[in-house]
Structure 1
Amino acid sequence: MNPMRTRPLRRILLSTVATVSGAVLLLALKPHSHPAVVAQIQSATPPSASVSSSAAPSESSSSSSSPSSSSSSKTKATRKVTGDTVQTRFGPVQVQVTLTGTRISAVTVLQVPTENPRDQEIAQYAVPQLTQEAITAQSASIDTVSGATYTSEGYVQSLQSALDKA
């Protein structure tokens, strides 16, 4: 007699395990990013590679010379300070803070994760909220955006490093 016919629970268990394994494998696949969507997100937010590579060296030199000029005159000089690049689970996050005197007047995002359409979607809705909240709070003590926890945490860490440098 065939042992599989006498044990129907074994057959049910094996088919269930195979189905669950297949579903897990399908969910683990990352979708490919579409080049048109990547170009659209990069034009909507300023995280281009040319900005981060050309801005970082010049900003570090200007931020190192700013303290001497700001100590001699306590006027409302505008300066830009680039924060550290924070590696998150989904990619790097880096911001640049524009300070007028001691107040945050603008926050520019230099890098955010844009590897796939979901990362791009998260960046499109989270970055403006984080930027507005940072300007309103005038510090890095801001709430994370729901659904964008890793991006928010990277944003806050990079913002705090820029403020520490200032």
Structure 2
Amino acid sequence: MLIQADAVPRKPADPFDFGGGHMNPGRAVDPGLVYDMDPKEYNKFFNCTLGLLDGCESYQLNLNLPSIAVPDLKNRVIVWHTITNVGPVEASYTSVDEAPAGVALSVEPSIISFTTGGSRSVTFKLTFMAKQRVQGGYTFGSLTWSDQKSYSVRIPIVVRTVIEDFVADTS
């Protein structure tokens, strides 16, 4: 059954309407991986949204939230995120990406491993490339880290391709 958006009749819901998905309380207490962030980063983000700091565009793209938004993809954008292992000490995860429509997506590294005595956190790079030179609306995808056994950590991705900054988004 298709979920409908609340504010607009007959509009199918998208991740802007339903967020990252449904919560499973049992799995939430043992997620395997988390997108951890120092509370100070929230303060910097808040100051960026108020226009109190310069150079915030790159910072906002790389904010280590459990979601990724690229609002103005012209050609290519690189985003960095860090995941922290809170599950078994010995673990290996493989990335499974679902690229938004009209966008090529690559994840490096695509396999991450955690070992005894090694780091609990790994930073990975996502490269977004516009496949079409169009002024587009928002398209959605996801990135999932899976250990192929117990853990599957999925985050939503939203991208809007643009040709020119001054062209209004009418979608």
TM-score calculated relative to the size of structure 2: 0.31
Q: Which has the larger radius of gyration?
A: 1
Structure (1 or 2) with the greater strand fraction: 2
TM-score calculated relative to the size of structure 1: 0.31
Structure (1 or 2) with the greater helix fraction: 1
